Amino acid sequence: MGNTELQYQPFLFCAIMMAMTNNEELLRMALVGYQTEAEKIDAKIAGIEAKLGGGASKAATTNTPPKRRRRKMSTAVRKRMAAAQKARWAAFHKQQGGSKTAAKKAPAKAAPAKRKLSPEAKKKLAANLAKARAARAEKKSAGEVVPF
């Protein structure tokens, strides 16, 4: 076969182009067919909804759940609920053995006393600090780089 496979062959090019054109035409025809089927299905759905009495709920056809309405409570009901909750709260705290005010009145624990350094320890720390400062000053005067 050799080198002829890689050369331009006009009849093969034309066949490929015709196949691509036929594919596009085939896809367009398929699209038109599916659209007409979808219209027929929509018409059947509308007929069934009409038979069900004014149409099915939109929730059946869509994916979103219907919004729930909040129940309106009267002022009297809210007051009764508040009173019942206060009674439950009082009973719970009575069972626990006290109220919030009793817990607040309990004496707080005293903080532990701070430890103090002895005068000898203070002198020792001061001497170490003076020694470190002198060493740092000496390094600085010698031209060394000193951190801090």
Which tens digits make up the pLDDT trace of 18-67? 666 677 777 788 888 889 999 999 999 998 988 887 655 555 555 777 78
Q: Which pLDDT tens digit goes with each residue over 78-95?
A: 999 999 999 999 999 999
Q: Could you tell me the CA-to-CA distances from 65 to 51, 91, 104 in Å, in that order?
A: 23, 41, 49
Q: Which helix (H) or strand (E) holds 106?
A: none
Provide the H-helix boundaries in the chain. Answer: 10-51, 58-61, 75-96, 100-105, 119-141
Q: In the structure, what pLDDT confidence band is assigned to residue 1 with cuts at 50, 70 and 90?
A: very low
Residue with tokens 């206060």: 86
Other C-beta atoms closer than 10 Å to the C-beta of 102 total: 11
pTM reported for the whole predicted model: 0.26
Q: What is the CA radius of gyration of the chain?
A: 46
Q: In this structure, what token pair is assigned to residue 109?
A: 């624990």
The answer to whether 128 touches 136, Cβ cutoff 8 Å, is no
Q: In this structure, what token pair is assigned to residue 58?
A: 């939109």
| Position 131, amino acid | K
